[in-house]
Amino acid sequence: MTFQLIRTGILNESFLEIDWLGYSSSVATIHHYLEKINGELTGWLHSPLEKNDDMLDSIQRIASEIKSKADVLVVIGVGGSFLGARAIQNALTPYFGTQENGIQVLYVGQNMSGAYIQQLLNSLKEKEIYVNVISKSGTTMEPALAFRVFRKYMEHRYAKEAQKRIIVTTDAEKGLLKKMAENSCYRHFVIPANIGGRYSVLTPVGLLPIAVAGVDIRRLLEGAKKAAILLKEENLELNEAYRYAVIRHALYKKGYQLELLATFEPSLAKLQEWWKQLFGESEGKGKKGLFPATVSYSTDLHAIGQFIQEGSPILFETLLHFKEITDDCQVPFDHRNEDELNYLSNRSFNEINAISKQGTAIAHAEGGVPVIQLELERLDAYHLGYLIYFFMKSCAMSASLLQVNPFDQPGVEMYKNKMKELLNISYVKFRH
């Protein structure tokens, strides 16, 4: 993976005048603190280095059973309990149709749309299904409501067999979902107590749906393991995750308010959603933090590109690019050349896309937008595993530099409580 910051078209970090020496001591202090507080939501730091064969074997066993008996896996979850799985699935499975050794994975429980849930149910009539309900707390309203609907649906449709077709992923001890799993003897996977929702994609939360979609979860974890080894380095100069965190922090201190994560492959749109939650929920507290936003190019170059180039100078951009994408398409030669595009014939779309990325970086940098470039060799499970760990590690450092807790989300809890209060009031009113 390569990593650089450019501005005004040249490789240049000096405009930021980063006090690398000053940062290196705060980074080392935070590094040691994060390493030390193991047990308090930093389990993800070391989990890729731990022996996990039993967990992987049982995930793969159940994934094979699901693939052999179902056409669709319905995943019920919200926030960290679904964004990671959907990100990897979308990034690594075909745009049209499903992966050769995988089945369709659909998601519900992320919204309160009656139309969405009803239309999903309608679409499943002719299909065999399994359900994987995922919630660490086991009490979140959106997935809990969706599970109530799907549990009834499964019981009605599969009678006793429903019990085999519902898989629960939740805490080992706490929560209503854990109790329901026990009462109904559902098979269940554990979300480690020391790994929070948005850091949980490499646990059964993400791994079961990802395996069912046909993605190689062992390669994914190998990539994460490589990152966990390389990014264990406390020296800021040698740790690219910490460098990314420091540059973001320095830009924030300089007055930039928004980081725009840009990609050049549409299949990465859901990965961007995962990234948005990771940084948004980890940093946005205490009236601090960069607002994480995303764009997908070329689409957004023709929509929001004007603003980025010439609008209010509030943002910097992080371009995420993969050098190799499995499929590609050649531009054909056409002797008529009415569209005057023969100069591009025999070049591939991916090649042209890479050049468009370079052009975008230079144009935006020349427009005064700081541009960070993250480049990975290939869009595959290994490199995505690496990238996910890279972002999680940067995020924990970045939030800590802001002096906020990277692992809580008091603002989300606030909304959950308010909604419950209002629902109770309207229930009481409705009854009288």
Q: Is 281 noted as a catalytic residue in this protein?
A: yes
| CA-based torsion, 199, 203, 204, 207: positive or negative | positive
Nearest residue (beta carbon) to ligand PA5: 197
Smallest distance from the beta carbon of 192 to ligand PA5, in angstroms?
13
Per DSSP, 125 falls in state: T
Which residue, 315 or 397, has its beta carbon nearer to ligand PA5? 397
Which residue, 48 or 138, has its beta carbon nearer to ligand PA5? 138
Smallest distance from the beta carbon of 276 to ligand PA5, in angstroms?
11
Smallest distance from the beta carbon of 422 to ligand PA5, in angstroms?
18
Which residue, 78 or 213, has its beta carbon nearer to ligand PA5? 78
Contact criterion met (CB below 8 Å) for 106 and 120: yes
Catalytic residue among 51, 125, 156, 302: 302
Smallest distance from the beta carbon of 137 to ligand PA5, in angstroms?
3
- Which residues have CB under 8 Å from 157's CB, separation 6+? none
Q: Which residues does residue 73 pair with via DSSP β-bridges, in sequence order?
A: 105, 130
Which residue, 177 or 365, has its beta carbon nearer to ligand PA5? 177
Contact criterion met (CB below 8 Å) for 60 and 212: no
Closest CA to 297 of 265, 345, 253, 258: 265
Smallest distance from the beta carbon of 407 to ligand PA5, in angstroms?
8
Which residue, 197 or 305, has its beta carbon nearer to ligand PA5? 197
Q: Is 46 noted as a catalytic residue in this protein?
A: no
Cis link prior to 298 (omega < 30° from 0)? yes
- Phi/psi for 368 (5° steps) reads 95, 5
Which residue, 90 or 140, has its beta carbon nearer to ligand PA5? 140
Catalytic residue among 164, 174, 232, 416: 416
The full DSSP string for 174-239 is -SHHHHHHHHHT-EEEEEPTTS-GGG-TTSHHHHHHHHHTT--HHHHHHHHHHHHHHTT---GGG-
Which residue, 196 or 214, has its beta carbon nearer to ligand PA5? 196
Cα atoms found within 13 Å of the Cα of residue 90, Cβ hemisphere only: 18
Q: Is 288 noted as a catalytic residue in this protein?
A: no
Catalytic residue among 142, 281, 283, 317: 281
Footprint of ligand PA5 (CB under 6 A): 78-81, 135-137, 140, 143, 196-198, 281, 409, 412
Smallest distance from the beta carbon of 114 to ligand PA5, in angstroms?
20
Smallest distance from the beta carbon of 136 to ligand PA5, in angstroms?
4
- 3-state secondary structure (DSSP) of residue 101: coil
| CA-based torsion, 11, 15, 16, 21: positive or negative | positive
Give me the sheet containing 10-11, strands edge to edge: 10-11, 2-7, 371-378, 315-324, 258-263, 291-296
Please give the positions annotated as active site.
Answer: 281, 302, 416
